[in-house]
Amino acid sequence: MSKVNLALALVVLMAVSLSCTFLKGKVMNGGKPASEFDKVARLPIPDLKATLPSPGAVAVRELAKIDPAGLREAAGRPDAGPHLHQAADLLALRA
């Protein structure tokens, strides 16, 4: 039984080695990383000492890019929060 297990292990090892050899040219990209890894490498390094913006502030800034008139309207409502007021003020300064 041990000779059968040894033979099976050798066959599996040879199959894996051969598949790696045949796929090497298809998987390797000439020494360059895949495009997904290149995108990750270009991400900006965050400043860990800076305060992080809240999700609401980020959403309001994106709203300012998409619909400036809607942002001004939302900031004019009596129940508008500070993020809306700040984004409307920044939008007015940029105009």
pTM: predicted TM-score of the whole model, two decimal places: 0.44
The pLDDT value given to residue 73: 92
Please provide the average confidence, as pLDDT, over all residues in the chain. 79
Terminal CA-to-CA distance of the chain, rounded, Å? 82
Residue 79 is predicted with a pLDDT of 92
pLDDT at 23: 55
Q: pLDDT tens digit string along 73-94?
A: 999 999 998 888 888 998 888 8
3-state DSSP assignment of residue 18:
helix
